[in-house]
Structure 1
Amino acid sequence: MTQAAVLGLDVGGSSVKYRLASADPGDGMPDALAEGVAPAPAADLPASLAELARTVAAGYRLVAVAVAIPGLVDEATGTVIRSTNVPQLDGRPLGPELTEMLDVPVMILNDGRAAAVAEARWGAGAAAHDVFTLALGTGIAGSHIVDGAIVDGANGSAGELGHVVIEPGGLPCSCGQQGCLETVIGAPALRRVWNAAGGEGSARELLAAYDEGDPRAVAIVQAAARHLADAILTLLALVDPGVVVVGGGLASEPHRLVTLAASYVDELATFHRVPPIVPARLGRWAGSVGAAAEARTLAA
């Protein structure tokens, strides 16, 4: 008999990460039958996600899918309320659309929640009962987990630290405000500042130049880490988590932004109880792992 499988998709502004896993129930991290990254299409994203699911699951019996989206979602209806980084999904009943295309149950969830679930259960927060996870990438997502349960807030939109205003009157953010954390430390923001300073390439090249001691890159990365530290200090004042886990592409090894921001937090903290501020262990795969775990629950 063909093996039953579930699929977790992590949709970002520029790519879709996926993990195909066994549908067998369990508490362990979903095993990877297949894992990878596909470019995010510019148009007709639902149809492209359905085609990606069919391609990745070829040779298996797909029984459930979970899709992590950067933005606000209504999990009960599978509708994307608003996604500032994937605006073509705003208002779309993505869950029902994909369910019809794939003929399997589909869950839609926030990408910060998916990453937090994975890091809290199997990653850097596994030993703590109170974990706040941040994912730094095209956008900045976050989620708070206490004793294994996600603290969603009254309307399911808690954790959007990327839209806390860091620079009042600063650059416009896709959410409609000005000076949000995403406008100073998101990957597009870092690329813009790096290119304006004469650097070439994306945030990845910026971080590489920082490692080489380029003074322009050093100044930009230090400023970004200070902004992140300011946001974390706000988080500590409001939430008081036991561990702060920082992941996503911008926080990958050698964890420059994480270690710098943690040092600034230690320097600037006053009344705050500063918890461990640690890099994520699951790296860029946290969202797809968390989505696969939710898909496995959906299939049970």
Structure 2
Amino acid sequence: MSTPAVLGLDVGGSSVKSLLALADSSLSSPPEILSRARTITPLADPVDGLVEIAQSVPQQHPVSRVVVSIPGIVDETRGVVVRSANIPALDGCPLAERLGARLGVPVSVINDGHAAAVAEAAWGAGAGSDDSFVLALGTGIAGAHVVDGEVVPGAHGSAGELGHITIDPAGAVCSCGRHGCLETIIGAPALSAAWNTAGGSGGPETLLPAYADGDPRAVPVVQRAASALAEALLTLCALVDPGRIVIGGGIAREPHDLVLLAAQYARQRATFHHVPPIVPATLGEWAGANGAVRIGMQHERLATAAR
């Protein structure tokens, strides 16, 4: 009989990334990937589309569990997508129940940021530390505290929203309705606006190389963003005291100058704070799929132990 496998589906606004790995693979290092694929996200009918994607996976090993990573607010206990701005057809959907009924195996649904954080903490830049805070810098700013391989979600599942720490009370209005949140300074739209106002063009993908080349228009933009991030990191250190901070997302892409400068500023400004190693993420766009696979492997172990 073939060894069972777990399937991780990382659902994004434009594509679904899927990974298949043996359920009994070691958790201490990335497993051997049996199958890897990328498919266009089925926005119109996501449940049918995800069933089709799951059933299209090569069947040399029977899939015993599926974990789906979703962008948005997820009730992970019940497997319900509360709201997903990128995939509105899933709003309010009991996705775990519906997929499980169709596929005939247990299905878990998790937030995509949590999935990426679990992978980075265990198999990426956080490897070797049992206490990591993984932060993603993109259009929005969010993070997750991972301790012993598990996300610490907070009492209401909303811990880690570092993007909504106030940096400048007199600053711009944030999408959350408050003023001067970190997101209004270093979120991709805000960073792009600052870069264009300074005379540049494009977004972080042009700003960061320009800074690396010493472009005088880019230097103050990146310095302001790094300064704001440093303040948020010091707040994180004061409240959470993580053993390592891992920073990923589009704004943290190579060259990593913004992350490295923020870390430098944080260390210079620290007083009582214990500033841990602050490092760039390493798993890139496949972090969410890797995290879904790892969580599936963890759930399989729990299920086996309960039998």
CA-CA distance at 1:193 after TM superposition? 3.4
- The match for 2:110 is 109
Q: Match for 1:146: what amino acid? A: V
Contact 1:123–1:280, Cα closer than 8 Å, also in 2: yes
What pairs up with 1:6-25 in 2 under 5 angstroms?
6-13=6-13, 15-25=15-25
1:156 is paired with a residue whose SS is coil
Does 1 or 2 have the higher relative contact order (CA < 8 Å, sep 6+)? 1
Structure 1 residues 234 and 15: alpha-carbon distance in aligned structure 2, compared to 1, 3 A threshold: farther
Alignment correspondent of 1:236: 237
Residues 230 and 265, structure 2, Cα contact 8 Å, conserved in 1: yes
Shift of 1:244: 0.9
Unmatched 5+ stretches in structure 1 = none
1:78 aligned residue: 79
Matching residue's letter, 1:10: D
- Distance, in Å, in 1 between the alignment partners of 2:87 and 2:230 is 27
User: How many angstroms apart in 1 are the aligned matches of 2:231 and 2:121?
Assistant: 23
1:85-124 counterparts in 2 under 5 A? 89-124=90-125
Q: How does 1:84-233 map to 2 (within 5 A)?
A: 89-168=90-169, 170-233=171-234
- TM-score, scaled relative to structure 1: 0.84
CA distance in 2, matches of 1:170, 1:89: 34
Two-structure CA RMSD over aligned residues (Å): 2.9
Q: In the TM superposition, what whole-angstrom CA distance separates every residue of 1:47-93 from its partner, at most 9, and x where no partner exists?
A: 444444344x1455443221223343212211123446655544332
Percentage of pairs with the same residue: 58
The Cα offsets for residues 163-214 of structure 1, whole Å up to 9 and x where unpaired, read as 3233335444444444333333233333343344443334222222222333
The Cα shift of 1:295 comes to 2.1
User: 1:123-182: per-residue Cα shift (whole Å, max 9, x none)?
Assistant: 222222321111223332311123334322222222121232333354444444443333
Residue 221 of structure 1 aligns with an amino acid whose one-letter code is V
The answer as to whether partners of 1:12 and 1:40 remain within 8 angstroms in 2 is yes
How many residues end up aligned between the 2 structures?
299
Contact 1:111 1:141 in 2 (8 A): no
**Residues 221 and 102 (structure 1 numbering): CA distance in 2 closer, same or farther, change over 3 Å?**
farther
Q: CA deviation at 1:19?
A: 2.3
Q: Distance in 2 between matches of 1:299 and 1:30?
A: 15
Match of 2:258 in 1: 257
Instruction: Give the superposition deviation at 1:110.
Output: 2.0
Give the structure 2 partner of residue 26 of structure 1.
26
CA distance in 2, matches of 1:238, 1:179: 20
Q: Is the 8 A contact 2:208 2:255 kept in 1?
A: no
Which residues of structure 2 form unaligned runs of 5+? 302-307
How far apart, CA to CA, are the structure 2 residues paired with 1:133 and 1:2?
Answer: 35
Give the distance between the partners of 1:24 and 1:183, measured in 2 at CA: 44
